Structure 1
Amino acid sequence: MSGLGLWQAPAPLLPSLHLLHTISVLERYGWCKSLDVDPMGRLCMRGAQNLLEKTGYVTPDARHRAVDHMHTVLAQADVHMQFYAWNDLPGRTFPHVKALLTRAADHAHTIGD
């Protein structure tokens, strides 16, 4: 995590910042589909969130709220499925994932979360 420029003694982040840090983790370690962590060490969206939670950068409650923000953004695009299923769809690319996380972070920030 220090390679990402994150502190050694983490403080849990608001959902908006957690979503942005999820992007940083995926950029650093690589993005994948279907597995939280693939054999090459790449992570899916949920795997990156797991890493951030296990290392103290997000509380379970703030992570849950971040997931709600992702689902809100997906619903606005008329997508009604879990974010991790959306992550695994054929044709899904990392730019799509990054855009979802960015829009969800913006949505969270707008309401002070």
Structure 2
Amino acid sequence: MTTHAPPLASQLSADAKQLVREIEQFLATQPARRPNLPAPKPTRGGGFDLPPVDQLIAEAGIVTGPAPRQKKTKDRGLPGGVWRMLPDWALSARRGSRRQVTVTEHLQLTALVIQRYGWCGNGLRSRSGRRCILGAQAVLYRLGYGDQDTAMAAGRVMDRILAGRGIRAHYWEWNDHAGRDEGDVLYLLREAIQAAQ
């Protein structure tokens, strides 16, 4: 049985912070919508409140900085940072407040996550951090962008587009069909973005 060393907090923080920066840069170009809503405090198991990641990093005396840009590679190893092996709930600690986004913005950000980390079928994510559509939506939710209602509304838009093509499967089932590729997924997201506007 192979064991993996735990990721360094600086590796986790730098890559997750880079994704948050990219999302914030994108949202800064969008028209103002609604004020940010406070996020529910993340809890673990028996109601233990987790401190913010920045506080943990400061207490540990870890110095962080921008991560070097990683080249996209095939599904080998852990491109871009080992934080992607962590469960999605670990991303919840990255945000202090929930930022509401529109359905269109949610779809655009879903495409951004897939373009940055790659696409996968047959699972929410691969070992290297590639995400299916539903997995990319989960990343956004865990980082504090939008809520479940927004993600579900975005899903209904994609389902309507698929139904218009004569496809009866939900978008997450369609994502996992044999022969599907990243280009197909990004094309569906582009159509959904146009339909949601």
TM normalised by structure 2 equals 0.52
The one-letter code of the counterpart of 1:58 is G
2:128 aligned with 1:40: yes
Q: Identity rate of aligned residues, in percent?
A: 31
What is the aligned partner in structure 2 of residue 91 from structure 1?
Answer: 179
Gaps of 5+ in 2: 1-15, 25-94
2:26 aligned with 1:3: no
Alignment of 1:27-66 (within 5 A): 27-66=115-154
Show CA shifts across 1:11-62 (max 9, x none): 2211111011101001111110111011111111100000101111111111
Higher-strand-fraction structure: 2
Higher relative contact order (CA 8 A, sep 6+): 1
2:92 aligned with 1:75: no
Following TM superposition, the consecutive aligned residue runs of length 4 or more in structure 1 with deviations greater than 3 angstroms are: none
Gaps of 5+ in 1: none
Q: Tell me the distance in 2 between the aligned counterparts of 1:58 and 1:80.
A: 27
Q: Tell me the distance in 2 between the aligned counterparts of 1:79 and 1:102.
A: 17
Aligned-residue CA RMSD (Å): 1.5
What is the aligned partner in structure 2 of residue 100 from structure 1?
Answer: 188
Give the count of matched residue pairs. 109
Q: How far did residue 84 of structure 1 move?
A: 1.0
The one-letter code of the counterpart of 1:30 is G
Q: Tell me the distance in 2 between the aligned counterparts of 1:46 and 1:38.
A: 13
What is the aligned partner in structure 2 of residue 12 from structure 1?
Answer: 100
Q: Tell me the distance in 1 between the aligned counterparts of 2:168 and 2:139.
A: 25
Higher-helix-fraction structure: 1
**Rg: which structure is higher?**
2
Q: Tell me the distance in 1 between the aligned counterparts of 2:132 and 2:149.
A: 20
